Amino acid sequence: MIQLEEVTKNYSGKSAVKNINAVFEKSQTTVLIGPSGCGKSTILKLITCLVNADSGTIKIDGENLITINLRDFRRSIGYVIQEGGLFDHLSIEDNLKLASQNFYINEETINDRIEQLLALTKIENGQLQKFPSQLSGGQRQRISLMRALMLDPEILLLDEPLGALDPLIRFELQTDLKEIFTELNKTVVMVTHDLSEAVYFADKIILMKDGEIVQSGSPEELLKNPTNRFVQKFITAQRSHVE
């Protein structure tokens, strides 16, 4: 379980997130949603320690994040950033092996893991010697997911993983991703700006505005019982995409 208690992060005197209290339950998918600049991606960066909170506490399974060995902790997290973030100068195979080699995992174990993930993500073995620029957007995202899962992390973070894909590929990958989430039983935190996507994936949705949480709960609660005018307006603006 990931718990944020009164967490605030400022950039140049402006709050990216302020006094955030949130719980991301173990083995569930929580989706962060809201307008651009509302603080969704900042929360992922705080969880991964890419940035540090100015105040407040982040706990992982009850332990304060600042007391955890950072190297070991990052091994327990898989992170898929927008548009995948693959290294263009490395082959797909080398992209996948990079993190494992950094942790001195033996080659046989790495290769076995790659074979498992190829089957899971429906990628053909022949793609391994290609470079990212030779793959489609959907294939690159599948490879990015493979890379995030190489060390079998307990936590999987995804920052708008489908945002740059065309609708048909996005639909196909949504279906496969949900199956993967169900099969792996990971703690998933996903960022999107698309309400229909949030409803499709989420056990819980956290809707944000201006660095604050405005409503949190199940997709059904959000859609049927908006707590204020902003929530209602946000739902209405995307209603045709949800129904």
Query: Across residues 106-117, what is the average pLDDT?
Result: 94
Model pTM score: 0.91
Mean per-residue pLDDT of the chain: 91
Query: Across residues 17-32, what is the average pLDDT?
Result: 96
Residue 243 pLDDT more than 60?
no
Fold designation for 1-76+156-161+188-243: Rossmann fold (3.40.50)
Residue boundaries of the structural domains of the chain: 1-76+156-161+188-243
How many C-beta neighbours within 10 Å does residue 233 have?
10
- In the numeric block, the tokens 């091994």 are attached to 75
pLDDT given for residue 164 in this prediction: 65
Tokens representing 206 are 């956290």
pLDDT given for residue 239 in this prediction: 67
pLDDT given for residue 241 in this prediction: 54
Query: Across residues 19-40, what is the average pLDDT?
Result: 95
pLDDT given for residue 167 in this prediction: 77
pLDDT given for residue 50 in this prediction: 92
Q: Greatest CA span in the chain, whole angstroms?
A: 56
Stretch among 55-59, 100-104, 162-166, 203-207 having the lowest mean pLDDT: 162-166
Q: Which has more confidence, 49 or 83?
A: 49
Express as a percent the part of the chain with pLDDT over 70: 98
Question: In 3D, which of 9, 145, 151, 159 has the Cα closest to residue 71?
Answer: 151
d(CA 157, CA 155): 7
pLDDT given for residue 31 in this prediction: 97
d(CA 174, CA 1): 24
Tokens representing 73 are 């902790």
Query: 73-77 long-range contacts, Cβ below 8 Å, gap at least 24?
Result: 73/49, 74/48, 74/49, 75/103, 75/151, 75/153, 76/151, 76/153, 76/154, 76/155, 77/47, 77/48, 77/153, 77/154, 77/155, 77/156, 77/157
pLDDT given for residue 9 in this prediction: 97
Query: Across residues 1-18, what is the average pLDDT?
Result: 94
Question: In 3D, which of 183, 211, 224, 160 has the Cα closest to residue 31?
Answer: 160
> pLDDT per residue over 134-189, tens digit each?
998 889 989 999 999 999 999 999 998 887 677 778 888 889 999 999 999 999 99
Express as a percent the part of the chain with pLDDT over 90: 73
pLDDT given for residue 78 in this prediction: 94
Q: Band the pLDDT of 103: cuts 50, 70, 90.
A: confident
pLDDT given for residue 224 in this prediction: 93
Query: Across residues 100-108, what is the average pLDDT?
Result: 88
Query: Across residues 103-126, what is the average pLDDT?
Result: 92
> pLDDT per residue over 219-231, tens digit each?
999 999 999 999 9
